[in-house]
Amino acid sequence: MLWRLGLLSFCAALATEPAHADDNFYKGKRLTLLVNAATGGPTDIEGRLFAKYLARHIEGEQPIIVQNREGGGGLVGATYLGEVAPRDGTMLGYFSGTAWNFVSDPSRWRVNLRLFEFVGYQSGTTIHFMRTDVPPGMRDPADIAKAQGLIAGGLAVDNPKDVRMRLALDMLGVPHRYVTGYLSSMQARLALQRGEIHMFSESPTTYHTAIEPTLVKSREVMPVWYDTGGDGEPARAVASLEGLAIPSFVDLHRRIAGAPPAGPKWEAFRTIHHVNSTLQRLVALPRGAPPQALAVLRTAVERLNADPDFAAESQRMLGFRLGYETGSDITHRVRALMAASPEVRAFVADYIKAAQKK
C-alpha cells in the first residue's frame, strides 16, 4: 500500500511540473500585442485595455507592448503575424474584421487564418443609426420604412457591416443610395453630422462612447437596429448592449413586415453575422507557436475575465464589460465557426459586384 501511495505522489508531482513550467514561460520575455486596426479606433482601444490587464496575469507582469498594423480590412496585420512575426509566442495578434473577410474569399490571403493558434475571441454586434431629420422625420425605428431619399454611408463595398446594412435595408424594403470610400469611421461620422450621409453603423464600443452620449442625446441621431442572427446571441454580445434600448433586426423586421426575415438575403446576413460578429475580436498566435505559450495565455485570459479591475475599467471606458471566450479547445471552436456554404459565399460575391456597378 505504501509503495502505491508513493507512486501516486510521484505521478502527481510529474503532472504538476508542466503547469508550473508553463506559468514561467514568459518570465524574462517581452510580449507584443499586434492590433490590426488604426490607433484610436474601437479595436485599438479594446486591445490596449486587454494588454494592460492581461500583463497582470502573466508571470513577471511585464507591460505588453502594443503595435498597430492596419489596412486591408484586417488583412495586413493578420498577414504580418502569419508570415513575419516570431513563432516563439512573443507576438500575439488582436484582430478585428478578419473572420468573414477570410471566409468569404480565402484566395485573397497569403496566410491561412484557420491554421493560426487561437487564445480566445470576443463576440459583439453592430449598431445601425440614422439622422432624425430624414424626411418625413424619424422618431421611432420603424419609421425607417417611410424614409425618403435615404443615403447610407460606409467604409467599403465589401466591408462586412456595410454589406449587412445594405442587406437589411433591402429586406426592409427601404429605397436607399449607398455612399462609400470614407477612410475611417471618424470621417464617416463627420459626414453624418454634416448631412452628407444619413445612416451609418458602429461597434458597441464606439456607439457607447461617441454616438449615444452626443448625437443620440441631442436627438440629432437615433438608433434603428442592432445585428442579430435571430437564433440566440452569445452572452458576451448581449452584454455589449447593456443599457441600450435598441430593437434587434429580427424584431424590427417583424414590426415592419409582419414576419421574421427569410430568403437568400437573410441567409447571407445571418451567416456574415455569425462569422464576423461572433468572432468580432480574435486573439491569436501564429501557426507553430509553443504549446506552453498557448496554455499560459489562455489561463491569463480566464483570470482576466474574473478580474474586477478589468471589468470596472472596461465598463467605465466602453460602457460595457469586456469578456473573452477561451479554453483548451478554443482553436477547434474558432475554426468550426469560420464556415459559410458555397451558396452564401457566391450570393455575397454577386451582391458586392452589383453594388460596385451602381
pLDDT at 123: 93
pLDDT at 235: 74
Residue 215 lies in a domain: yes
pLDDT at 222: 98
C-alpha cell at 105: 474569399
* Structural domain containing residue 144: 127-228+236-274
- Whose grid coordinates read 467605465? 316
Radius of gyration of the chain from its Cα atoms, rounded to whole angstroms: 22
256 & 287 share domain: no
Query: Taking a C-beta distance cutoff of 8 angstroms, is the pair 325, 122 a contact?
Result: yes
- Whose grid coordinates read 448625437? 215
268 & 292 share domain: no
Indicate the SS3 state at residue 74.
Answer: helix
pLDDT at 318: 92
Indicate the SS3 state at residue 28.
Answer: coil
Burial class of 38 by CB neighbour count within 10 A (0 to 12, 13 to 18, 19+): middle
113 & 181 share domain: no
CA torsion 198-269-36-211 (nearest 10°) is 30
Residue 355 lies in a domain: no
Counted domains in the chain: 2
C-alpha cell at 294: 498557448
Query: Taking a C-beta distance cutoff of 8 angstroms, is the pair 151, 199 a contact?
Result: yes
258 & 201 share domain: yes
pLDDT at 242: 85
pLDDT at 14: 40
35 & 98 share domain: yes
87 & 34 share domain: yes
How far apart are alpha carbons 77 and 93 in whole angstroms?
8
Q: What is the mean pLDDT of each run of 10 residues along the chain (358 residues)?
A: 39 40 80 94 94 94 94 90 96 94 91 96 95 97 98 93 97 96 88 97 93 96 94 77 92 97 97 93 96 97 97 94 95 96 96 86
Q: What is the CATH number for 251?
A: 3.40.190.10
148 & 243 share domain: yes
Q: How many CB atoms lie within 10 A of CB 71?
A: 14
Strands of the sheet with 32-35, listed across from one edge: 65-68, 32-35, 91-96, 281-285, 117-122
pLDDT at 22: 61
